[in-house]
Amino acid sequence: MSSFKDDFLAFAIERQVLLFGEFKTKAGRLSPYFFNAGLFNDGDALKKLGEFYAKAILDSGVAFDGLFGPAYKGIPLATSVAIALAAHGHNVPFTYNRKEAKDHGEGGNLVGAPLKGRILIVDDVISAGTSVRESVGLILAAGAEPCGVAIALDRMERGKGRLSAVQEVERDAGLPVVAIANLHDLMTYLDTQPGYTDTRSAMQRYRTEYGVD
């Protein structure tokens, strides 16, 4: 496993962004873990998170010309990733959207740099893929090309069918999805940590029932 994946998972657990126990998902499943990227909620945490995204994106080899952060969680994420990429010598523009179009000032529902070229969407997770579909529509309407999606954690969990939400995005939108870490990475990491035997067993049972490859 890439060292930044280990470091990211340790960081998420330390910040209590990644919790273990019993949590009900939107699909009504009882999950043994919960990930809430909204709890990366101070300057230091957001700085480190942006660096993890940047490492995953650069490691993936996906070519892009700009970033797009869908409202609302994607806005600080795209901002932090742009700053982190600049520190790595990749200074790229970023754009985000408003939920409602502004009818004064600069107007419209897009803020930041004009969308041009290949645009990488930055979000926290992919649940139903709704945010990605909306982002793709906005990018195409601006005359740019969506080229991929970067997320923090891929749960590798089935949606309504046999595929996961991430796999459905890759299939339907034809976009690669880059995750800082996924469920396999998390379970591998927990194998190396003391005190997680029961948690690891619960996650394996959950993965057997709901997981995808």
Q: Give the pLDDT confidence score for residue 176 in this predicted structure.
A: 97
Split at pLDDT 50, 70, 90, the class of 202 is very high
Task: Say whether pLDDT at 156 is over 90.
Answer: yes
For the question of residue 102 being annotated catalytic, the response is yes
Question: Is residue 101 scored above 80 in pLDDT?
Answer: no
Query: Helix/strand/coil (H, E, C) string of the chain?
Result: CCHHHHHHHHHHHHCCCEEEEEEECCCCCEEEEEECHHHCCCHHHHHHHHHHHHHHHHHHCCCCCEEEECCCCHHHHHHHHHHHHHHCCCCCCEEEEEEEEECCCCCEEEEECCCCCEEEEECCCCCCCHHHHHHHHHHHHCCCEEEEEEEEEECCEECCCCCEHHHHHHHHCCCCEEEEEEHHHHHHHHHCCCCCHHHHHHHHHHHHHHECC
Domain ranges of the chain: 3-210
Checking if the pLDDT of 90 tops 90, the result is yes
Neighbours of 191 (CB within 10 A): 10
158 beta partners: 164
pTM of the model: 0.93
Active site (annotated) includes residue 104: yes
Residues 167-174: contacts with CB within 8 Å, 24+ apart? Answer: 167/212, 168/129, 169/126, 169/129, 169/132, 172/129, 173/132, 173/133, 173/136, 173/146
Residue 26 pLDDT grade (very low, low, confident, very high; cuts 50, 70, 90): confident
Instruction: For residue 154, list its beta bridge partners.
Output: 182
The one catalytic residue among 104, 116, 160, 184: 104
- Check pLDDT > 70 for residue 153: yes
Work out the average pLDDT over 125-146.
93
Check whether 182 has a pLDDT greater than 70. yes
Catalytic member of 88, 102, 116, 160? 102
Fold of 3-210: Rossmann fold (3.40.50)
